[in-house]
Structure 1
Amino acid sequence: MSGSPYEVFDESFRKLINHTAHVQKLHTGCRWTEGPAYFPAGRYLIWSDIPNNRMLRYDECNDAVSIFRNPSYYSNGNTIDRQGRLVTCEHGSRRVTRTEINGKITVIADHYDGRRLNSPNDVVVKSDGSIWFTDPTYGIDSDYEGGRSESEIGACHVYRVNPANGQISVVADDFIQPNGLAFSPDETKLYISDTGRTHSNSNPAHIRVFNVTDDNKLSGGEVFSECSSGLFDGFRLDEAGRLWSSAYDGVHCINSDGRLIGKILIPEIVANLCFGGLHRNRLYICGTTSIYGVYLFDNGTPTF
């Protein structure tokens, strides 16, 4: 890529970017990178390479990349909980799992109302320990990112897992293909993308915002931002409540009022991202075949 990787649409974006900190390609050779999760205790990044049915690990201290899990059951979204454990969405097994400290795999969710989930896609953990995840059909649409199958549920929902009893409940049922999701820093809002445009040009390509009540119910759900380049897939928020989202041309930075204030251009379609580094000021970006990193004058919220 020649020239600056930054596009500025609002002067506030200039304060967030460091023009001397270039976008670095940290690793390549994947087929479709997704689900980055940063582990501060070990200073490493985990991400999914969905079609290759594996997860990889990037060591921030020496730039080494290794296989973390193979096979990965076509894992997609990943995050960490407050105990530092990996939480993973698996297309192939159609479940959400947690990797315990001793390496044991615990199944968090694989059925709802007696029927198998579609293919859990992205996941976040709220401060109360509840696990929230989206369940579109991408993992059962073909054999490329999972296994072709009919939906047993017949719809694509957003779910919450109660940390006290493991009960799974639907928190949003009016999405075409719910995808990325993230809480605001104070957890009073939940942002969820709908990538239904992949199945029809008349379907959504936007992010919606919901109010979160004290008893974990959602209200509102108005459109927060429409994507101007392809689709919003995965995204994260910074400490000020700005949203940093994947898009076809790179990363879009969206102010808390829904305005696009700037872009980081990436020469591949971006599927997801997360903040990492000792101060959460390094943005890790999943760009189709590659992982990129860039330091910002900005700090992300923890991924849980």
Structure 2
Amino acid sequence: MRQVETDESKSEASRGFAPPSRRSILAGVGVILGSAGLASAEPMPPSTVTNPPRDFRPGATPTTYFTDPDVLAVDPAFEAYIVPNSAIRRLWTGALWAEGPAWNAVGRFLIWSDIPNNRQMRWLEEDGHVSTFRMPSNNSNGNSFDWQGRQLSCEHATRRVVRYELDGSATVLADRFEGKPFNSPNDIVQHIDGSYWFTDPPYGGQLYEGLPDEAGGPSNPKGHLNPRLGQPAGIVTGRRVLPNAVYRIDPSGRIDRILTDDQIPDPNGPCFSPDHRILYVTSTGKGPGDTGPGGKGEIYAFDVAEGGKLSNRRLFADCVVDGIRCGPDGVRTDVDGNVWASSNAGRAVGYNGVTVWNPAGKLIGRIRLPEVCGNITFGGPKRNRLFMAASQSLYAVTVNTQGSGPA
């Protein structure tokens, strides 16, 4: 088709501008799409803010940035923790909802849960190989390794906490309190005194992440859901009967309820300060069957005394950034006492990922991901690599600090 020359195009030409032809426009679009990796067969998650859009796929061309543009120093203090030539990498994708990453220092591998797919995955450090580690996993959520190198897992479907022993056997650490089954243990850490601390919110009572209650229970009030579908013969179902809480398993085996739902609504991710004198717990949103208002997406801190006695409850961080609620889930501390928290900002693009708070509760840094981040941990041979389980994928970035302990 012949291009008609107009007075406007003559004017632009006289100023050194030429109107683009259709061919040049299409060619330019092709260059942009090709450079962004959008023309390939594998779909790419959208960039958070980077322009042109980043390609996070494992086999993608490395970024050309010297300092990753999605690792942000909100406060100058965070610059000391940024490794300038380290970029965020998407190590793997393919989960339905990734949670509970934990680093095995002896085996040099990472495990994490894919809750809806009822499996645990493993990433090998030496070559990046990913495989199914344990299936079925009883819809496990949080995982960690204790000081003896044994894996701890919180299981939704069986409403219990288990420990995998070094000889290959498994031990049920907790499955009920005062004769009543737990709701759905969520996340667990070990204190230096040998005790295990875990949270018990109701999120595993959802059809997607575990087993709903039997008919009439809080997460199945109309009785329309059948919790036995897809489960093996003999599966034990039940109803939620306990309030949300945080529990401590004493080295003797005694189980104590140490925090109630009134003290911290919908408790989710626990972690300790490097000296184990402070407990941090995230309070997330209202869960299935909750009768109260639910959590607001905040982090609380408590002083820890001998025997697990807690005091001085205080709001550590409201997790609001630029007016956006960056809902925390999993948390970990580094050796300097900073708190690294996963961020679920929903559809607020650019605010999902990780927030970093100094020991005084001041936001100092952010890591932006193209997916909602559920949980994090430090790993790698030097424990200076931050692994982030985010929605369907696993991400990692090297930082200039170390995690404060096995988790």
TM-score category of the 2 structures, normalised to the smaller one: over 0.9
Instruction: Identify the residue that residue 300 of structure 1 maps to in structure 2.
Output: 403
Instruction: Identify the residue that residue 49 of structure 1 maps to in structure 2.
Output: 114
Instruction: Identify the residue that residue 194 of structure 1 maps to in structure 2.
Output: 283
Write the mapping of 1:105-254 to structure 2, written as runs, cut at 5 A.
105-140=170-205, 142-149=206-213, 150=217, 151-164=239-252, 166-173=253-260, 174=262, 175-197=264-286, 203-228=295-320, 229-248=325-344, 249-254=352-357
How far is 1:198 from its partner? 5.7
Instruction: Identify the residue that residue 92 of structure 1 maps to in structure 2.
Output: 157
How far is 1:154 from its partner? 3.4
Partners of 1:201 and 1:11 lie apart in 2 by 37
Partners of 1:156 and 1:19 lie apart in 2 by 42
Q: Is the 8 A contact 2:302 2:312 kept in 1?
A: yes
Q: Is the 8 A contact 2:202 2:287 kept in 1?
A: no
How far is 1:201 from its partner? 7.5
| Structure 2: gaps (5+ residues) | 1-46, 52-68, 218-238, 345-351
Instruction: Identify the residue that residue 132 of structure 2 maps to in structure 1.
Output: 67
How far is 1:153 from its partner? 3.2
SS in 2 for 1:170: strand
Range that drifts further, 2-11 or 19-28: 2-11
Matched letter for residue 158 of structure 2: S
Partners of 1:156 and 1:101 lie apart in 2 by 31
- Distance change (3 Å), C-alpha of 1:203 and 1:97: closer
How far is 1:100 from its partner? 0.8
Instruction: Identify the residue that residue 221 of structure 2 maps to in structure 1.
Output: none
Q: CA RMSD in A?
A: 1.4
How far is 1:41 from its partner? 0.4
4+ runs deviating over 2 angstroms: 150-154, 196-203
Matched letter for residue 264 of structure 1: I
SS in 1 for 2:78: helix
Q: Is the 8 A contact 2:266 2:294 kept in 1?
A: no
Say which structure, 1 or 2, has more relative contact order (CA 8 Å, 6+ apart). 1
> How many residues are treated as equivalent by the alignment?
302
The reply to whether residue 79 of structure 1 matches residue 144 of structure 2 is yes
* Amino-acid identity (%): 42
How far is 1:83 from its partner? 1.2
How far is 1:101 from its partner? 1.2
Larger Rg: 2
How far is 1:176 from its partner? 2.1
Matched letter for residue 254 of structure 2: Q
Partners of 1:176 and 1:296 lie apart in 2 by 32
1:169-218 deviation per Cα after TM superposition (whole angstroms, max 9, x unaligned): 00101232100000000010000011035678874210000000112111
Partners of 2:315 and 2:241 lie apart in 1 by 25
Instruction: Identify the residue that residue 11 of structure 2 maps to in structure 1.
Output: none
Write the mapping of 1:250-289 to structure 2, written as runs, cut at 5 A.
250-289=353-392
- Distance change (3 Å), C-alpha of 1:162 and 1:202: closer
SS in 2 for 1:196: coil
How far is 1:148 from its partner? 0.4
Partners of 1:98 and 1:270 lie apart in 2 by 25
Partners of 2:275 and 2:241 lie apart in 1 by 32
Matched letter for residue 99 of structure 2: E
Matched letter for residue 157 of structure 1: A
SS in 2 for 1:55: strand
SS in 2 for 1:13: helix
How far is 1:221 from its partner? 1.6
Q: Is the 8 A contact 2:266 2:295 kept in 1?
A: no
Q: Is the 8 A contact 1:209 1:221 kept in 2?
A: yes
Matched letter for residue 43 of structure 1: R
| Structure 1: gaps (5+ residues) | none
How far is 1:18 from its partner? 1.4
Q: Is the 8 A contact 1:115 1:152 kept in 2?
A: no
Give TM-score scaled by structure 2 length: 0.72
Q: Is the 8 A contact 1:197 1:205 kept in 2?
A: no
1:245-283 deviation per Cα after TM superposition (whole angstroms, max 9, x unaligned): 000211101010001111011110000000001111000
Determine which of 34, 48, 52 is the counterpart of 2:99.
Answer: 34
Q: Is the 8 A contact 1:178 1:193 kept in 2?
A: yes
Range that drifts further, 222-231 or 150-159: 150-159
Matched letter for residue 190 of structure 1: L
1:116-167 deviation per Cα after TM superposition (whole angstroms, max 9, x unaligned): 0000000001112111000000001x21100001354331000000112x11
